[in-house]
Structure 1
Amino acid sequence: MLERPIEKAIFLSRWMMVPFYLGLLVSLAVLVVTFMQELWHLLTHVLDTSEADIILGILALIDLSLAANLVLIVVFSGYENFVSKIDATGHPDWPDWMTKVDFPGLKQKLMASIVAISAIQLLKAFMHIDTTKASSFNNDALMWLVIVHMVFVVSGVILALTDRISSAGHGDTDSKDKADSAAH
């Protein structure tokens, strides 16, 4: 008697995720403003800036772009996987991946984006080595950036391996079940 209302409440609770996704869309707008500021700064200083600073500016734009992609991936696949299916009919430009990213795929895309963002931060730090006086360069900060990046890389590899092992295990179970039911 209580089971149905409890299950219905649990099922409807998925809609409580919507404010999170809407908030992420607001954060996407913040990233757009930040991107435009960074682009404007780069464009207005292109003639009086060193090559290293131009590269750092471009890396900052790429970093912001990757962060924006990450937000979109989380919003679309999170909404699709946890709240409601998105009707893509009537949208000719609708990318196919948006309605096909499952939870393991989402984890891998998130991890790949985090590794890429970390790599860009590390590259920025390496670019600053040449422009920073040796006395003021912080070796400890660079060491920690490398350590954090390597933790992200190793975590991504482990995540991919566990997902692969998990999916292979499910495949073996499915084929065993099919073989058992064919024998009966």
Structure 2
Amino acid sequence: MSAPDPFDTRNPPVPARGSPLRPLPKLIFASRWLQLPLYLGLIVAQAVYVVHFLVELLHLVEAAFGNKDALQALITSIGYKTTAPVGTLNETVIMLVVLALIDVVMISNLLIMVIVGGYETFVSRMDLEGHRDQPEWLSHVNASVLKVKLATAIIGISSIHLLKTFINADNYTDRVLIAQTVIHIAFLFSAMAIAYTDKLMASNAPRGDGH
């Protein structure tokens, strides 16, 4: 019986099973499971955001039908202040509430990326290959990709907060407006720096010669 051809792609050789880890490396490697309660805690936080979203949405619908208590709850929630009393749901309040709901959704997306991507990258594989509901971004996720995606998500959240502030600018001082703008610009430059660094690392990575 001839030895298997290592270059035969039709019947690739089966890799030998690695030797068992020594106790100390095994303990260190198993310590990654200490992150599991952190991700479970983020799932609980995700549930809290869902409840908050539904409550705000319910208040918006009730206020649209003339419920004064719901309207007051919305005004308090978004921090809207005006010299004239707000008796009905107006365009500014609706816009601020919708932006707040979008903010919740974007933070929820950020949580999903951290929970799923972080678990897949740092704890254990989820074996989602071939699953019809596998997120597209998860198929090529790694620590570098996750950093860029998180930075992009944070920029989106910061943009929503900044837009809410400018819509409700009468209730903020110039110092707050300038500070939020500077912070947003800092997020932009940070994301660009992360993306550029990852690009440099990818370009300097060794490549196969194709032979």
TM-score w.r.t. the length of structure 1 is 0.85
RMSD: 1.9
Overall identity of the aligned pairs, in % = 39
TM-score scaled by length of structure 2: 0.74
Greater radius of gyration (CA) = 2
Which residue number in structure 2 is paired with residue 103 of structure 1?
A: 143
Counterpart of 2:184 in structure 1 is 149
Larger deviation, residues 37-46 vs 152-161: 37-46
Separation in 2, partners of 1:26, 1:97: 23
Judge conservation of contact 1:14–1:82 (CA < 8 Å) in 2. yes
Note if 1:63 corresponds to 2:63.
Answer: no
**Equivalent residue, structure 2, for 1:9:** 27
* 1:32 paired to 2:50: yes
Alignment of 1:84-95 (within 5 A): 84-88=124-128, 91-95=131-135
Shift of 1:91: 4.3
| Alignment match, 2:91 | 51
Letter of the 2:193 counterpart:
I
1:166 partner letter: M
CA offsets, 1:130-172, max 9 Å, x none? xx3xxx64111111100110100110011111111111111xx
Q: How many residues align?
A: 169
**Which structure 2 segments of 5+ residues have no match?**
1-20, 66-87
Check conservation: 1:86, 1:99, Cα contact below 8 A.
Answer: no
Task: Supply the AA of the counterpart residue of 2:47.
Answer: A
Q: Which has the higher helix share?
A: 1
Please say if residues 129 and 139 of structure 2, whose CA atoms lie closer than 8 Å, have aligned partners that are also in contact: no
Q: 1:104 to 1:69 in 2, by over 3 A?
A: same
Once the two structures are superposed, the pairs formed by residues 162-181 of structure 1 within 5 Å of their partners are 162-170=197-205, 173-175=206-208, 178=209
- Higher RCO (C-alpha 8 Å, min separation 6): 1
